[in-house]
Amino acid sequence: MLNRKRVLIATACGFLLGIPDWYLAVPGVIPFIPVPMDAPLGTWPAALTVISIRTVSGFVIGISALRMAWWWHGIVVSLIVGFPLFFVCGWVGLGWTLSFLGVNGAGIVMGLIIEWVTSVLFKAPAGKP
C-alpha cells in the first residue's frame, strides 16, 4: 500500500537536494573538475532539468515498493531515473567521462540521502507491493 508520508518526504527531499546538485554542476564552482566554461549549465533550463530529475528521483523512491535494503533501493532507483541526464550532459559538451562520473556519482549520493531521510530519519519505510 502506498504511504503518503513516504511519497511527500521523498519528493520534497529530492527537490531540496536538486538545488545544490545543480549548483555544483555550474562551471567553476568546483575548481578541480575540468568543466568547459561554455557549458550551458548556468542557464535556467539546465537548472530546471537537474532539479526536476532529482525531484522525480525522490518521487519514484517514494512510490517504489521494491523489496531491498533501504540504501540499495536509493542507489538503484536514483541511477535508473538519473540515467537520461547522463546522456544529456554528454551531448551538451561536458564530455562523456565527466558526465558519467558526475551525474551517476551525484545520483548515488542523492539517492542514499533521500532514502536515508525517508526511511531512517522519518521512519517511513517502503510499503508492500
Q: For 59-98, write each residue's pLDDT tens digit.
A: 999 999 888 999 999 999 999 998 888 777 777 666 667 6
Taking each helix axis as running N to C, give the angle between helix 96-115 and helix 44-63, from 0 to 180 degrees, rounded to the nearest 10: 40
Position 92 scores a pLDDT of: 66
Can you say whether the dihedral through the CA atoms of 104, 100, 88, 31 is positive or negative? positive
Contact 55, 15 (CB under 8 A): yes
Position 23 scores a pLDDT of: 78
> Would you say the pTM of this structure is higher than 0.75?
yes
Per DSSP, the residues of 87-128 read HHHIIIII-HHHHHHHHHHHHHHHHHHHHIIIIIIS------
Res 42 pLDDT > 80: no
Position 111 scores a pLDDT of: 94
Instruction: Give, in order, the Cα–Cα distances in Å from 61 to each of 23, 52, 86.
Output: 23, 14, 19
Position 78: which residue type? S
Q: Rounded mean pLDDT of 15-34?
A: 73
Length of the chain: 129
